[in-house]
Amino acid sequence: MEIPSETLRARIVNVFRPLLIWLVIVLPVAVGSAQRAVAPKPAAFAAQGAVTARVVAAANRFLATLGDAERARCTFGFTSSQRTGWSNLPTGIFQRNGLRLGDMTSRQRDAALALVAAALSREGYQKVTDIMNGDEVLRSAGGGRTGGRQGATAPGGAGARGGGVRFGLDEYYIALLGPPSATAPWMIQFGGHHLAINVTVVGPNNVMTPSLPAAQPAKYTLNGQTIRPLGHENDKGFALINALNPAQQKQAILNYEVRDLVLGPGADGKVIQPEGILASALDAVQQGLLLDVVHEWVGILNDEAAAAKMAEIKANLPRTWFAWSGATKNGGLAYYRIQGPTVVIEYAPQQGDLDHIHTIYRDPTNDYGARLVVP
């Protein structure tokens, strides 16, 4: 899908140019993640704590740009219902709380996005902006072939401005749950249509589950470049299934069709049985491909936290499953799932539409930092 006008190109680029310049100066930034299976080394633990301090500082800089009323709309208790109040649905169908980017001054918006960038890796923040820019394309095009459409009437009008479904860069929200702290638990929540990033910070530890990166359109053109927000997730998944021999594929491929996320929004705490092929039945090369797929989600988070999480997943690799449903030739419709003791990842094209992709990233033991927060 081509962006239709120079005006739209300029708007998308200008919104993010100040932050991209800022990223060059200060990244990489990271927040650590404590893991039960693999304890961080002392040097890594100290580095994680230092980065947590930087994320706290970024949060406080954002809060300092807000007036009292704006701060009240943006801040919630750490254990409030806001913690689970996220969705992939657009404004007008889902009621989000927090501060909307379109209601912020440029200074406030830059500070909000700087906070998001501070918690993520360079590649992760780029993925977030690619998803958001894609939603601006969707807004200009009047909606997608599947899913919520521009101008559709929202049930009861909830969350709608003017009663319709709304897409675009303005329709992303940020909320902070708990005061930013280097010791006490708190949370950064950022999202909108096809994006839900939930980062829980507990001292030097950092957790990004559950989170939902999605894309519609799955491919578009910006400034002469082809953008595929989830292109690596697609291509690496197909590379993995095609690296399996026929006997392994027979184990991995499910005997029924899966067309949507099983553990998407609203499925907190839901337990499903592992299916497919165990990673212990894969050779070293195939296992490497599997871990490379996993990193596409884990690596959205800052580098230090992602490294700790990947070490934990690798330690649990013999108990990790890979399941596939659908075509095995790249370009076809296919769902896949990776499920281990501390990770669940799903990739699911929607309603037979390759241009509309949903994914989910969870840790059944540590969503919202459950392992780290003392009741």
**Where are any strands of DSSP class E within the chain?**
75-76, 99-100, 173-177, 186-192, 195-202, 205-207, 212-213, 220-222, 225-227, 277-278, 321-326, 334-340, 343-350, 353-362
Tokens (6 digits) for 3: 């962006």
Instruction: Please choose, from the candidates 201, 211, 205, 164, the residue with its C-alpha nearest in 3D space to the C-alpha of residue 179.
Output: 201
Q: Look-up: residue for tokens 């009861």?
A: 156
DSSP 204: T
Tens digits of residue pLDDT in 63-75:
999 999 999 999 9
User: What is the per-residue pLDDT across 235-281, written as a single tens digit (0 to 9) for each?
Assistant: 999 999 999 999 999 999 999 999 999 999 999 999 999 999 999 99
Q: What are the structure tokens assigned to 140, written together?
A: 């200009």
pLDDT in tens, 118-175: 999 999 999 999 999 999 999 998 876 665 433 333 333 333 344 589 999 999 999 9
| pLDDT digits 0-9 by tens, 328-365 | 999 999 999 999 999 999 999 998 999 999 999 999 99
Q: Name the token pair of 123.
A: 């590649």
| Residue for token pair 């319709």 | 164
Beta-carbon contacts of 296 under 8 Å, excluding residues fewer than 6 positions away, are 232, 233, 236
Q: What are the pLDDT digits (tens) for 276-298?
A: 999 999 999 999 999 999 999 99
Instruction: Report the C-alpha gap between 194 and 215 in whole angstroms.
Output: 6
Q: What is the mean pLDDT of residues 182-201?
A: 98
Whole-angstrom Cα distance, residue 176 to residue 98?
8
Amino acid letter for position 127: K
| Domain ranges, ordered by start, for the chain | 6-222, 228-369
Distance CA 80, CA 328 (A): 43
Mean pLDDT of the 313-326 span: 98
pLDDT recorded at residue 48: 73
| Token pair for 200 | 């829980």
pTM (whole model) above 0.95: no
